[in-house]
Structure 1
């Protein structure tokens, strides 16, 4: 039976080219041909209109008269199929499937970007039989369904389109190129091999056809994989933080200068600044790009006891934001702290969440209004900060701008620690979907260890469950609901 087992392993790992070609040929005759504007809308110098599907070639001939050589640009007069009226003069390209982005026959029209030109060509395509306007993300969805990229790569492509910072671009590009999917695929192959060996042991161990060390090898492989999964999950949510933005919350007592700090970081009057205590009563948010790292900055109400119902709601929201922050900027009035430097730690703890059991939430102490300090008071305050140990503290003045440069450097270092370098080390999960699937996979491996000494058949079922969870991440196992959620955020034409 071992040759059969080895053959099944080869089937699980062999290239998918032949199966892909068969699937492509069968789907090619069944699907509609879709079209859409793939470049940005509005007036522009160049617009790209794309079609994908079995009628792409005939549509190209109807509009451009003759299809160019594959993957070669040709200048053509693009006409209205019925009347022969010239719509524009531009470049056309022809990509026969399966050697295209979607795996289907694809044609592209590179035309002038005026709204009338684009509208005319889209209307001409829409008037042809068996052509329809693409749905959001349908081009990429077809590429996934035709085996041109896995689900994590498709997600990376979507993230690349929406990337606004250098860090997001680097992470998305790495995921789009398949590094995350390749990692999950390797783990899936490890589970496939372990499961095949375990089932062989269950079926044939009594016939003395299976070596006694096979079960030990399975246990070692599963234990090693579980350790890799734990390490992968213990990344501090770096990938998700970089994709979604690091949540930075400015918190502190009233009149400490929190709104002034927000305005300094935003370089505009994003929040109202007033000498009246309690001016800020709600959360004011701003999205920023700091050295290629996206942050969502939140200014909050001053923390104090109050009888005002509206302000109390603002204080409650502020404390809730602190609890969910990735980084807390604890802002204190340097002039007030200098009068009682021995209470600096207590004042800081009043800002940080008291119900955080580990007290490990990242924070950065900001001592504002340094311009009001005499030289001796400043020295005392710096000594008090040094007495807190290696924890970061920044002395600055939002009014004069003194100390803002060193503060931004320290803040950048803290942000880099939180999201890491997306180009270094193993790729990180970038979505809650990834983390949930990996956690469920790890749970199944833990149950395998339990059932190992109870019932090997149940242990094998847990390995199947673990492999199924990994398959859902790459799209080998999934549902239409998951695909809809992933591709619905893509723009039409991609």
Structure 2
């Protein structure tokens, strides 16, 4: 592991009350000793004395000043927090300088630390060091990003459960079962003349299914049912040009985000915004109107709209309620395919009842709402219908703390497949040498989840998603 001393600004860019510069590494105390003056400065007295910060107590805050002794300049009045190894986030010596959060002063303090031997940290390097030092495992490290990016209380709850180690403990429990099974299989292979093949309890199909396969499937199902809590429920707003898609988008997010004009084809590129509905992030996409056109730019926008339809969890199909169902409405519905649909009958303020728009009997429309984007009516019901859809997506199950992310879920998918192969091998009395191959591969895959068996390229990819300073 790189033993250099790293430094980064740990607070967001811009002006504020407090700005934090974080330092971690073997030279952290030495560096701050070169730039920190403890206590008050005497008015008019020269700034000459440096502090020996090695004498300062761990987990204690000290008042003082950051000083450029070479140029005899006082940079800022600060608070200094020292956390000595191994009782720190990275298990190295860690120092935090709490300065006033102005862009100039924070940059000057950072430059001074770099000048005295610090190295600018890479994205996620502090957390990567916490992982490499064994303080946290890989799933706990990934939970740090989930906490930072959480948009709702439910997402935060799942992330904090991961950082406590609940998910890691569940994975390690299953991994230990595979280790025990591997030992039983190796014993049968090495001492086949002394040990009965059926003597190992984990080599029984029913025992293996209950202790392993069902638990792995449960974790995969938890992702399938509840990942929208963290990742968001994707909703595309589609329909013909000039039916009010952008106006509906603006009403849903309660701001003028999409440009609205009376001219068809105003929206060319997709516009995405997130709105919280029942504590779930709903990712709304306003797309170009779908219709036949010779305009090359419009064609690109329509192609992107169709791509968003394929990637969405739900389609809001907007129609002009003052018009009859047209051939282009039928074409749009065909592009929606088997996606769940909420039909929005917009411009209801202009329509006479009963509405002119009568969908074909072949359309499987079970959810519909009449709206007026102009008068802001019908949108409470629309939000309720969207909520019904993602509650159905989650099968109404309560949020389980063991919620894998996509990387973990893909690894669990492979584990489930191997578990089925192992079950089949046990059932068909296949040679244990063949079963052992699948057992060892599953152990390695579970190790990739917690970080016990993971390559440097995977680590680089994971920690590149972090911000600098974390």
The answer to whether TM tops 0.5 is: yes
Q: Deviations over 1:255-282 (max 9, x none)?
A: 4322221222233443344445x42463
Closer, same or farther: CA 40–426 of 1 in aligned 2, 3 Å: closer
- How much has 1:307 moved relative to structure 2? 5.4
Q: Which residue of 2 aligns with 1:279?
A: 265
Helix, strand or coil at the partner of 1:491? coil
* Equivalent position to 2:140, from 148, 153, 161: 153
Supply the distance in 1 between the matched residues of 2:23 and 2:432 (Cα, whole angstroms): 52
Note if contact 1:256-1:333 (Cα within 8 Å) is conserved in structure 2: yes
Say whether 1:49 aligns with 2:21: yes
Mean Cα deviation higher: 414-423 or 35-44: 414-423
Q: Which residue of 2 aligns with 1:11?
A: none
Say whether 1:401 aligns with 2:376: yes
Helix, strand or coil at the partner of 1:45? strand
Q: Which residue of 1 aligns with 2:345?
A: 367
Note if contact 1:235-1:428 (Cα within 8 Å) is conserved in structure 2: yes
Q: Deviations over 1:90-140 (max 9, x none)?
A: 2212212111111111112212223343233323322324x3222221111
Note if contact 2:321-2:351 (Cα within 8 Å) is conserved in structure 1: yes
Gaps of 5+ in 1: 1-26
Closer, same or farther: CA 306–134 of 1 in aligned 2, 3 Å: closer
Supply the distance in 1 between the matched residues of 2:129 and 2:66 (Cα, whole angstroms): 27
Closer, same or farther: CA 312–138 of 1 in aligned 2, 3 Å: closer
* Equivalent position to 1:60, from 32, 36, 49: 32
Q: Deviations over 1:286-321 (max 9, x none)?
A: 212223432332223334445555545544433332
Q: Which residue of 2 aligns with 1:123?
A: 111
Note if contact 2:342-2:365 (Cα within 8 Å) is conserved in structure 1: no
Instruction: Summarize the alignment of residues 5-16 of structure 1 with structure 2, pairs less than 5 Å apart.
Output: none
Q: Which residue of 2 aligns with 1:19?
A: none
Supply the distance in 1 between the matched residues of 2:315 and 2:364 (Cα, whole angstroms): 18
Say whether 1:468 aligns with 2:456: no
Q: Which residue of 1 aligns with 2:399?
A: 424
Q: Which residue of 2 aligns with 1:440?
A: 414
Mean Cα deviation higher: 109-118 or 152-161: 109-118
Helix, strand or coil at the partner of 1:143? helix
Supply the distance in 2 between the matched residues of 1:33 and 1:274 (Cα, whole angstroms): 56
Supply the distance in 2 between the matched residues of 1:229 and 1:326 (Cα, whole angstroms): 25
Note if contact 1:248-1:328 (Cα within 8 Å) is conserved in structure 2: yes
Say whether 1:456 aligns with 2:456: no
Closer, same or farther: CA 190–386 of 1 in aligned 2, 3 Å: farther
Note if contact 1:239-1:430 (Cα within 8 Å) is conserved in structure 2: no
Q: Which residue of 2 aligns with 1:484?
A: 460
Compute the TM-score of the two structures, normalised by the length of structure 1: 0.80
Supply the distance in 2 between the matched residues of 1:57 and 1:34 (Cα, whole angstroms): 12
Q: Which residue of 2 aligns with 1:293?
A: 280
Closer, same or farther: CA 195–367 of 1 in aligned 2, 3 Å: same
Say whether 1:411 aligns with 2:383: no
Supply the distance in 2 between the matched residues of 1:124 and 1:235 (Cα, whole angstroms): 49
Supply the distance in 1 between the matched residues of 2:228 and 2:405 (Cα, whole angstroms): 8
Instruction: Summarize the alignment of residues 233-272 of structure 1 with structure 2, pairs less than 5 Å apart.
Output: 233-235=220-222, 237=224, 240-272=227-259
Note if contact 2:222-2:400 (Cα within 8 Å) is conserved in structure 1: no
Mean Cα deviation higher: 400-409 or 279-288: 279-288
* Equivalent position to 1:76, from 52, 55, 64: 64
More helix by share: 1
Helix, strand or coil at the partner of 2:376? coil
Supply the distance in 2 between the matched residues of 1:76 and 1:420 (Cα, whole angstroms): 57
Supply the distance in 1 between the matched residues of 2:20 and 2:262 (Cα, whole angstroms): 54
Closer, same or farther: CA 427–98 of 1 in aligned 2, 3 Å: same
Helix, strand or coil at the partner of 2:454? coil
- How much has 1:157 moved relative to structure 2? 0.5
Q: Which residue of 2 aligns with 1:197?
A: 184
Supply the distance in 2 between the matched residues of 1:266 and 1:413 (Cα, whole angstroms): 18
Closer, same or farther: CA 32–302 of 1 in aligned 2, 3 Å: closer
Helix, strand or coil at the partner of 1:336? coil
Q: How many residues align?
A: 450
Note if contact 2:123-2:465 (Cα within 8 Å) is conserved in structure 1: yes
Mean Cα deviation higher: 142-151 or 31-40: 31-40
Q: Which residue of 1 aligns with 2:208?
A: 222
Note if contact 2:19-2:99 (Cα within 8 Å) is conserved in structure 1: yes
Gaps of 5+ in 2: 37-50
Indicate the RMSD between aligned Cα atoms, in angstroms. 3.3
Supply the distance in 2 between the matched residues of 1:314 and 1:124 (Cα, whole angstroms): 50
